[in-house]
Chain A
Amino acid sequence: MQYWVHLDELELDFACHPGQSVLDCMIGSGKKGIQVGCRGGGCGVCKVEVIEGDYIARPMSKAHIDNDAIADRQVLACCITPKSDLSLKVVGKINKPIQRKGKQA
């Protein structure tokens, strides 16, 4: 049994296997789109909004997913396992205070 995960904006699709997190399945499929950080629900960079579908979530750091976020169906992709096909939107990003400032300003 596998479910499909779809991200419209990124034109990204990958299969998810039972017992694996959405983020692990994306990594396992060799695809990129959702930011990959700690994979433990602590750093928040993999935050997504669930547009459609059901999932089970393990504990996620309140610093990134508070009650408002849960009400908005925002979750950490490393902490959810699908119970149906899922359609997601990327919310999290990696802030980059440390990089060459150079020309890009």
Chain B
Amino acid sequence: MALRGVLRLGEISIRVLDLADARKHYVDRMGLIEVMSDDAEQKIYCKAWDEHDHHSIVLREADEAGLDYVAFKVYDDQTLTDLEPKIQAFGLEVSRVDAGVYPKSGRRLEFILPSGHRMQLFAEKEQIGNTLGTRNPGVMPDEGVIRGFRINRLDHCLLGGPNIDESARLFREVFDFDLSERIEDEESRDSLALFLTCSTKPHDVAFVFQPEAGRFHHVSFLLESATDVIYAADMIGKYRIPVDVGPNRHGVTRGNTIYFFDPSGNRNEVFSGGYVHYPDTPTLTWDTSQMGPAQFSQDNIPRESFLNVMT
């Protein structure tokens, strides 16, 4: 892995019950930058300041909350060409989406994960930069570019569904992800949650067992520091945003975290930190005898709502 192939979670589309409320939450409060909107399709497109791609978050008004799709960015078009037959050989039906169908974006491959989630791969998206330019860029954007919760970028998502071992096998065997961590039932050894990385981060995507297919647990955004997590917590309190779990550290991935909900009940996370993962880092396993420390390592208390409430 010299970080070619699948690069990262590049775009996530989330269904919201009211677009104006969602804009207030994601743009006004959290500080994501709205780059485009589509009145006819009732969508807004956003990015975090330090992302170069045109957008990474799509919010779509619908009568159900939850996840529309996740889209991972791959290194180049040849990667898409190479992956298509491999995904088919794994046993999934792949459909091709022409360039431009998704705005500012090159062609995409689309398929449904064994856990029931719609997933896409794309190689190209228009880049608009992070306001600093690329020659002698400096380090600080103008005042006002970094605002709200001071989010640097979209980081990962956690998806709920059945067949999570199969979804993880697709990511490992076809997309070259590593299994960084795993939560299992202490007796049956059944997988309850699986954490997968395609980078040197502890995870880029994760799956949690849920009987119902295609559920959305959370989308997570990277902050600069644990101090910024506390700052975000103060903003969340100020704006009376519903909190699921206040500032804490995850045992799994070691991130400093806070979980809260958007106005449609979709869970969001802002976090910082975590260890460095390499392809030769062994998989870490937690079991249900240690659910407290696995989930929240500063008070070692598992939250019932945390693994079982989702959209």
Q: Is A40 within 8 A of B208, CB to CB? A: no
* Interface presence of A82 (CB below 8 A): no
Residue of B nearest to A40 (CB): B265
* 8 A Cβ contacts from B265-311 to A: 265-267, 288-289, 291, 304-305, 307-311
* Interface presence of B134 (CB below 8 A): no
Output the residue of B65, B186, B266 with the most chain A CB within 10 A.
Answer: B65
Cα(A94)–Cα(B210), bound, Å: 12
Q: Is B18 within 8 A of A59, CB to CB? A: yes
Q: Is B309 within 8 A of A40, CB to CB? A: no
Q: Is A41 within 8 A of B17, CB to CB? A: yes
* Interface presence of A99 (CB below 8 A): yes
Q: How many A-B residue pairs have CB under 8 A?
A: 98
Partner of A39 from B17, B265, B310 at Cβ < 8 Å: B265
Q: A39-B261, A42-B65, A101-B185 are in contact. Are A94 and B305 (CB under 8 A)?
A: yes
A-B residue pairs in contact (CB < 8 Å), sample of 19: A38-B242, A38-B244, A38-B267, A39-B242, A39-B261, A41-B17, A41-B265, A42-B265, A43-B265, A43-B311, A45-B305, A61-B63, A61-B64, A62-B63, A63-B65, A97-B192, A97-B210, A97-B211, A98-B209
Interface residues of A (CB under 8 A from B): 36-43, 45, 58-63, 78, 94-102
Interface residues of B (CB under 8 A from A): 17-18, 63-66, 185-188, 192-193, 208-211, 242, 244, 261-267, 288-289, 291, 304-305, 307-311
